[in-house]
Amino acid sequence: MATSVRQKTQKKDNLLHPVLRFGLGVTKATGGTVLGITMLASSVAAGGLVGLAISFRNLPDVRVLRTYVPTETSYVYDVKGRLLDSLHGEHNREVVTLEQVSPNLKRAVLAIEDSHFYQHGGINPNSIGRALVVNWRRGYVAEGGSTVTMQLVKNLFLSRDRTISRKLAEAVLAIRVEQIFSKDQILEMYLNNIYWGHNNYGVETAAQTYFNKSADDLTVAEAAMMAGLIQAPEDYSPFLNYEETKRRQLTVIDRMEEIGWIAPQEAQEAREAPLLVGKPTAWRTSNLPYITEVVVGELTERFGKDAVLQGGMRVQTTVDFNFQKQAEEIVSDSHRRLRARGLYADQVALVAVDPRTHFVKALVGGVDYQESQFNRAIQSLRQPGSAFKPFVYYAAFATGKYTPYSTVMDTPVRYRDGSGFYSPRNYGGGFSGAISIRTALVQSSNVPAVKLGQAIGLDKVIEICRLLGIESPLEPVISLPLGAIGVTPLEMAGAFATFANNGWHSPTTAVARVTDSSGNILLDNTPKPQQVLDPWASASLNSVLKGVISGGTGTRANIGRPAAGKTGTTSSERDVWFVGYVPQLSAAVWIGNDNYRPLGSGVTGGGYAAPIWRDFMREALKNEPVEYFTSPSKFPKP
């Protein structure tokens, strides 16, 4: 991983020695006389520029480079380290150390841009003299004579104006930089900051884009091509003009051979080597867009947008790529089957959460991300219908006044609601009279749920929802127990996961760990569960919700092992749900239309959402052992 300049030790010109072996020693080749002349010319030029520096008192302080950290692309990985997405603003960059750059590329860049880099003190008098003559003859700045150091300060501190005053400022700043930083440090900053075309800043992202490999692995041919890009990245881009790319590459190879940095045979092999270029990667789409969207939302809320897009984060998500793809396929296939059954529902969403960690394991926000990027798993607030009832019944159990066998009255009732009256009705009509809480919940009777809500207090129900991570707006309206509010599938899956874990809760998250590009930990989401619910009340609820699947409204969710869950169907049949769990996994399935169009008479969560849940859970748990829910008798009653 890259380290900041401040963290590096002041090294001697380490690159000089290997380069000398390839013939960099111009001074060595031409004798001491040329060395003396060159040093004298450098001293005269430097002395003159030091005098001019008095006129540049407002120039930036180059000492800020000691703590300078360039903007860097952030990367998102699945739980096993597979790359899912890269996040960046204008600058797509991955910072590397000089040691992580191929010697071939170092030589190629210096050969074509500044072959005397390790001899001069920031400016090259010969190059400047030649440029001054050309510019004087033409009457404008046509040649720059810039060294690598001058290019660096221009990119970091100065405008792009081609003026004499800017060139002078460039030279002054270059001398100042050379006085503070080693040659290796300057070259490292240069290679990490220059633009290589197609939104690639820095040598590493450029190497990945053009050759699908690290900058450390570039051959002479590849290095020469990349070095040739620096002068005009888009003009010489192999993606736009391959013939021009090869012409420019040959110029670099010729220069490397001319100054003796590569042998003639090596140069010929590089000329003949084909360029197996990749494809632009700066604006590639996420491999798991629904997951990336959740992750970006979490990170932005915690660190801010700029840190996410420019901070070089390395983000490990909680999701396995193959598991997520499996969930997406199940949603897509299920949607086709729904259409085949005559149910014209636009969308299906699915979220799975591990109750032991509250890590998101799968999140599918719609049938096809390419057709619609709206993520219904986290962005759509839909009424859960009867799937909300478990929150009410848990609240009743937690008071210690009710058990699954307590009697509730399923009889007509009327409440004053604002200026009128509200009379809850059961699905399909009719009343059952005196029934147990277990029967009321298994059969999904509406009237007992509303009566219990009034008896224990709706504010208490809302308080429990908040403990379980439901942040959507909740109002203590009389119909709240029947799910007359909007929630997201992610909230429902996360809340039911706490029931599955007997009241132990961690914040639901799709982010496991975040580091910076140097490996320093920025966020560690190792679960730290807290007991937020009464264990007896949670276990009692689990025992009742098992009956929903074994003999209630959710029998089509039977997966052949102990499982608990609840169906949900809104009165207008605009939303149908099934939310259920085993001790290792909680999942929520929602079906509906984006325009809230009713799904049709007789459409229920048990009939349509439960089979999708069943298919997903069977596949998800096929290699998982059967686990059993803890009996309420193992816990003291509140």
Tell me the pLDDT tens digit for each residue of 600-620.
989 999 999 999 999 999 999
End-to-end CA separation in angstroms for the chain? 54
Query: What is the reported pTM?
Result: 0.77
| Rounded percentage of the chain residues whose pLDDT exceeds 90 | 68
In a domain, 433, yes or no: yes
Q: How far is CA 121 from CA 41, 46, 179, 261, 620, in A?
A: 11, 8, 8, 22, 64
In a domain, 287, yes or no: no
In a domain, 219, yes or no: yes
Among residues 336, 329, 392, which one has the least CA distance to residue 362? 329
Of 206, 240, 272, the residue that ends a domain is 272
- Measured in degrees and rounded to the nearest 5, phi and psi for residue 163 equal -125, 155
Does residue 619 share a domain with residue 481?
yes
Average the pLDDT over 238-263 and give the result: 93
Whether 615 contacts 622, CB under 8 Å: no
pLDDT tens figures, 109-141: 999 999 999 999 988 877 666 656 655 665 544
* CATH number of the domain where residue 249 is located: 1.10.3810.10
Does residue 259 share a domain with residue 377?
no
Does residue 377 share a domain with residue 235?
no
Average the pLDDT over 72-82 and give the result: 93
Does residue 342 share a domain with residue 260?
no
Average the pLDDT over 359-369 and give the result: 96
Average the pLDDT over 69-77 and give the result: 87
**For residue 436, what pLDDT is reported?**
97
**For residue 566, what pLDDT is reported?**
98
Q: Residue written as tokens 């089957």?
A: 337
Whether 125 contacts 100, CB under 8 Å: no
3-state secondary structure of 534: coil
Does residue 397 share a domain with residue 461?
yes
165: CB partners within 8 A, 6+ apart? none
Does residue 239 share a domain with residue 356?
no
Instruction: Assign 280 a pLDDT band (cuts: 50, 70, 90).
Output: low
- CA 606 – CA 150 distance, rounded (Å): 71
**For residue 22, what pLDDT is reported?**
33
Residue 18 predicted with pLDDT over 60: no
In a domain, 75, yes or no: no
Average the pLDDT over 353-381 and give the result: 95
**For residue 282, what pLDDT is reported?**
52
- Domain total in the chain: 2
H or E segment to which residue 74 belongs: strand 74-77
* CATH number of the domain where residue 621 is located: 3.40.710.10
In a domain, 72, yes or no: no
In a domain, 542, yes or no: yes
In a domain, 67, yes or no: no
Instruction: Assign 12 a pLDDT band (cuts: 50, 70, 90).
Output: very low
The three-point CA angle 351-355-358 to 5° equals 70
3-state secondary structure of 587: strand
Question: 73-82, 130-139, 336-345, 388-397 — which one is most confidently predicted on average?
Answer: 388-397
In a domain, 516, yes or no: no
Residue 232 predicted with pLDDT over 80: yes
pLDDT tens figures, 495-538: 999 999 999 999 999 999 999 988 999 999 999 999 999 999 99
**For residue 483, what pLDDT is reported?**
96
Residue 43 predicted with pLDDT over 50: no
Query: Is residue 386 annotated as part of the catalytic site, yes or no?
Result: yes
Does residue 231 share a domain with residue 361?
no
Identify the domain containing residue 98 by its residue range.
5-47+91-121+182-272
Q: Quick one: CA dihedral 61, 64, 65, 69, positive or negative?
A: negative
H or E segment to which residue 458 belongs: helix 458-467
- Measured in degrees and rounded to the nearest 5, phi and psi for residue 576 equal -130, 145
Average the pLDDT over 546-566 and give the result: 97
Residue 54 predicted with pLDDT over 90: no
pLDDT tens figures, 193-217: 888 888 888 899 899 889 989 999 9
Residue 83 predicted with pLDDT over 60: yes
**For residue 136, what pLDDT is reported?**
61
**For residue 559, what pLDDT is reported?**
98
Does residue 499 share a domain with residue 357?
yes
Whether 112 contacts 228, CB under 8 Å: yes
**For residue 496, what pLDDT is reported?**
98
Q: Which of 113, 178, 188, 204 is catalytic?
A: 113
Rg (CA), the chain: 34
Does residue 532 share a domain with residue 459?
yes
Among residues 590, 614, 593, which one has the least CA distance to residue 483? 590
Instruction: Assign 56 a pLDDT band (cuts: 50, 70, 90).
Output: low
**For residue 453, what pLDDT is reported?**
97
Q: Which of 146, 237, 334, 386 is catalytic?
A: 386
